[in-house]
Structure 1
Amino acid sequence: MNPAYNAAMANLLDQSEYIEQGYLFQLLRERLAENAPMQELLEQIKYELLTTTNLPLAIDYMLTELKHSGLMSPAMLRLSHYFTAFQSYLISQAEQETGRFTMGAALQALEAEAKYRTAGGSPQGLFFYHFEVLCRSRLNYDKGLTAISNDPIYDLTWKKWILMLRAQIGLVDTADLIFLASEDYRDKLIAAGEPVEGKGPFLFGTREGRIAFGNRRKDPLFLFAAMQRHLGYPKVPRTKPRDENRDLIPQLARRIERLESRIKLMEEERRGGLDITRFYEKHKNNLPPLDD
């Protein structure tokens, strides 16, 4: 086996590490929904994790970076021997203020991924899970697939194929690319008496090839749904649309306050008792805003 692949496989963590990672992401997701600061959550959760794993040490390093820059992803990138590039990428996208990908969605995706690894997930299932996360969350394919290719679960053949997919995405139907990399396609070549040299690599099984062939020229969501059922990887969290009515009541309350202030000014002006000195510089911070 290739020495480079042996070195990459050495970065695969012990099962207990993935168990604790899944627990960490779960606790962060649940408690972050209560609007608790990330720094306080990490400091608290650190004592709830097994000290026999390396996760508490990783959290210490993440806390240092969080206090320094307010971000976790730079520390996760430096801990590439512990966190995968895809984990770091999801957190970095969630930390972008202008992005639509929330921290809750990132933590939910990472929690499911860690639990799937704990259960002994296959490279095929993990690839489809990662790829579906990119698609459903509308993340950058170029950066996302590059991060996926650096996962130690993939050997050099997998890595090259994923990078090829990155270059072909949007140009060739994804279902076609998966079919051409399946044992079903190889079997069809052999049955037709055609050579298989120069074809492949055949990374997916016969079942995945048939599913891909049956979903050509269709919505990719049908392909993902079928693969999820047959490969058994976790369901990808759905991004919930923002509730536009969530802030409606507070906004209406502020508008009512402004209207009341305007009415009072108009009443004072009609009575001839309007004191314009209230609008001088020294009183400006004590007045309610008059504009929308």
Structure 2
Amino acid sequence: MPVLDREEYIEQAYFFHAFRERVLDGLPSQDVLSRISEELLSTTRLPLAVSYLATEIKTIGLMAPAMVRIGHYFTPFQTHVIAEAEHDTSRFPMDQALLILEREARYKADGPTLSGLFVYQFEAMSRNRLGYGKGLEAIAADPFFTEDWHDYILLLRARLGDVDFADLIFVRSAFYVTEQKRRNPGFEPKFPILFGEKEGKIARANRGRDPLYLFSALQRQLNYPEVPRPRRPDEAEARIALLEQRVALLENRLKSAESDIHNEIDLAQLRVKPEDTAGPPAGWGKHEPT
């Protein structure tokens, strides 16, 4: 698939943002997709793509399969992120997925560097545990990346875990070539150089450290796009729910104590409700012939 026009990425960023906000407000995804296409710029292809998503989600309840079918518009990375959020057993929330895609689309609209785009997608994949195998394949298929980048990204599948990620950036940087030429003026790199001098310096400074420190340094020093952090569980809500349970338990105990004092027994508390049982016993209400 070719790289889309800038206006397409601008509209995509708006679409993912508006979609996320309305889903967080409690609106059904089907309703959001059915209406939001009217807000999008009609000179782009996004309204048609969203209309197709709206039709498919009403049929199968998922967006990712529909995004695969229109792979000439949505990238494999976008499809992979949505698919991971739609898994039944996934802990990756849809609003997080939409926020990742919103920032990616905005970065593409602003004219990304290939190194910045790769690091953003890789960090999003690693932070949210979206799977390195399929994830790297999806990243490599992004139309922004050249053939050299495509080969490099697929190479990472075999090297990750054995080689430090910072080293994988450092040895493909212009800074690495400069360092080698100081020692050997005739040095020529065996592989294409994909990262600049500054990326190489930052990568060397973070060798042997947590890759998250590397990502953070690249964002601070080179204005790489920031990947949204996974949300932490809201401890306040959990504590409130626990307090409500304890208050309800105390109320029941107080009622029981008051009834004991007044020698009053609430038969409703002792009555077994049908919904609390597995159902009436077999043959209940039937009399055997004598």
The answer to whether TM tops 0.5 is yes
Structure-2 separation of matches of 1:208 and 1:98: 37
Among 178, 182, 189, which residue is 2:169 paired with? 178
After superposition, the Cα gap between the structure-2 partners of 1:197 and 1:256, relative to the gap in structure 1 and judged at 3 Å, is: same
Alignment pair present for 1:279 and 2:275: no
Deviation of 1:124 (Å): 0.8
Deviation of 1:75 (Å): 0.9
Deviation of 1:279 (Å): 3.2
Deviation of 1:139 (Å): 2.5
Q: Which amino acid aligns with 1:131?
A: F
Deviation of 1:25 (Å): 0.7
Partner of 2:59: 68
Among 42, 45, 57, which residue is 1:54 paired with? 45
Deviation of 1:111 (Å): 0.8
Among 17, 26, 36, which residue is 1:26 paired with? 17
Structure-2 separation of matches of 1:277 and 1:178: 69
Q: Which amino acid aligns with 1:162?
A: I
| Contiguous gaps of at least 5 residues in structure 1 | 1-9, 286-292
Q: Which amino acid aligns with 2:156?
A: L
Alignment pair present for 1:235 and 2:226: yes
Query: 1:129 is paired with a residue of what secondary structure?
Result: helix
Q: Which amino acid aligns with 2:3?
A: L
Structure-2 separation of matches of 1:178 and 1:246: 42
Partner of 2:100: 109
After superposition, the Cα gap between the structure-2 partners of 1:282 and 1:107, relative to the gap in structure 1 and judged at 3 Å, is: closer
Contact 1:121–1:233 (8 Å) recurs in 2 = no
- The equivalences for 1:144-163 within 5 A come to 144-163=135-154
Contact 2:123–2:227 (8 Å) recurs in 1 = yes
Structure-2 separation of matches of 1:200 and 1:52: 42
Q: Which amino acid aligns with 1:133?
A: A
After superposition, the Cα gap between the structure-2 partners of 1:279 and 1:12, relative to the gap in structure 1 and judged at 3 Å, is: same
Structure-2 separation of matches of 1:215 and 1:261: 59
Partner of 1:4: none
Deviation of 1:219 (Å): 2.2
Q: Which has the larger radius of gyration?
A: 2
User: Can you list the C-alpha shifts for 1:114-147, whole angstroms capped at 9, x where unaligned?
Assistant: 1111110111110011111122223212221111
Aligned length, in residue pairs: 276
TM-score (norm 1): 0.83
- The equivalences for 1:227-266 within 5 A come to 227-250=218-241, 252-253=243-244
Question: Root-mean-square deviation (CA), in Å?
Answer: 2.8
Partner of 1:288: none
Structure-2 separation of matches of 1:220 and 1:277: 60
Query: 1:13 is paired with a residue of what secondary structure?
Result: coil
TM-score (norm 2): 0.84
Alignment pair present for 1:45 and 2:31: no
Identical-residue share of aligned pairs (%): 46
Q: Which amino acid aligns with 2:32?
A: L
Which has the higher mean CA deviation after the structures are superposed, 22-31 or 95-104?
Answer: 95-104
Contact 2:177–2:189 (8 Å) recurs in 1 = no
